[in-house]
Amino acid sequence: MFKKVEFIKSVYNLSDLPPPKYPEIPILGRSNAGKSSFINALLNQRGVARVSSTPGFTRALNFFLIDRKFYLVDLPGYGYAKVPKEVYLSWKELIEGYFKNTIRDFALLILIFDIRRTPDSLDEALIKFVKSLKYPYLILLNKKDTLKEKEVSRQIELYKERFSLPSDVYPLAISCKTKEGIQEIRNNLKKIIER
Ligand SMILES: Nc1nc2c(ncn2[C@@H]2O[C@H](COP(=O)(O)OP(=O)(O)O)[C@@H](O)[C@H]2O)c(=O)[nH]1
Ligand SMILES: [Mg+2]
């Protein structure tokens, strides 16, 4: 379990990023996929990251420092239907600028999807972008509790195929509600950070 969680800041402009003093693990995904819920589950704290009841649009990159060892970064989600094109473009610019920033130490990128959804062109574009960065990444299919075991397997195969994932990258089905799969991820993160 992680012990100390410090909220560092919300970043709206790339010029405002905290110094890259620690390895960082950004959390990416569509709005409402469960990014904030995942951060809360992982840290075993309610309300560290704000969970939205209505899918909304947070523009900021929220930095959390964990055990003075690494940053967890809650990134703004994409794919919120009511967002105008300019807002999508500014999202894209912020995210791309952040990842192209080569002085930062990206230890692992975590991508979260709602397991019930069929991946669309936006999701595919994200995967393509993430693959192009050459950082290690982990794909999580959240809200496993909403599906039967058979449907879970079917969705895992669907994501694997749509994203043309290499055989060693397997999407992991989790639930932030029942906490299934969360301890396994904690153990993996610890290994990655203490590398
Ligand atoms: N059933 C179920 N609902 C979840 C799970 N994780 C998140 N949610 C719900 O999905 C909605 C969006 O979650 P949130 O963490 O705000 O998503 P974000 O926009 O990606 O940060 C909220 O209503 C959560 O309660 C899960 O594992 N199972
Ligand atoms: Mg959120």
Q: Which ligand 1 atom is at minimum distance from the Cα of 51?
A: 16
For the record, the structure tokens of 101 come out as: 């920033």
Residue nearest to atom 7 of ligand 1 (CA): 34
Q: How do beta strands 61-66 and 5-11 pair?
A: antiparallel
Q: Which ligand 1 atom is at minimum distance from the Cα of 112?
A: 20
Calculate the alpha carbon distances from 160 to 20, 54, 163, 164, 172 in Å. 33, 29, 6, 6, 10
Residue 141 has φ and ψ, to the nearest 5°, of -105, 105
For the record, the structure tokens of 129 come out as: 């972008």
* Domain 5-193: CATH superfamily, name plus number: P-loop containing nucleotide triphosphate hydrolases (3.40.50.300)
Give the max Cα distance, the chain.
47
Asked if 60 contacts 11 with a C-beta cutoff of 8 angstroms, the reply is: yes
Could you say which DSSP state residue 188 is in? H
| Confidence check: pLDDT of 47 > 90 | no
Q: Three-state DSSP class for 100?
A: coil
- pTM tops 0.85: yes
Cα 185 from Cα 182, distance rounded (Å): 5
The whole-number average pLDDT for the span 94-106 is: 93
User: How close is the Cα of 10 to the center of ligand 1, in Å?
Assistant: 20
The whole-number average pLDDT for the span 32-54 is: 82
- Assess whether the C-beta atom of 34 lies below 6 angstroms from ligand 1: yes
| Confidence check: pLDDT of 18 > 80 | yes
Confidence tier at 111 by pLDDT (50, 70, 90): very high
Q: Note the ligand closest to the C-alpha atom of 56.
A: 1
- Assess whether the C-beta atom of 114 lies below 6 angstroms from ligand 1: no
pLDDT at 51: 65
Q: Which ligand 1 atom is at minimum distance from the Cα of 58?
A: 19
Calculate the alpha carbon distances from 118 to 6, 124, 128, 161, 162 in Å. 35, 11, 16, 11, 9
- Assess whether the C-beta atom of 36 lies below 6 angstroms from ligand 1: yes
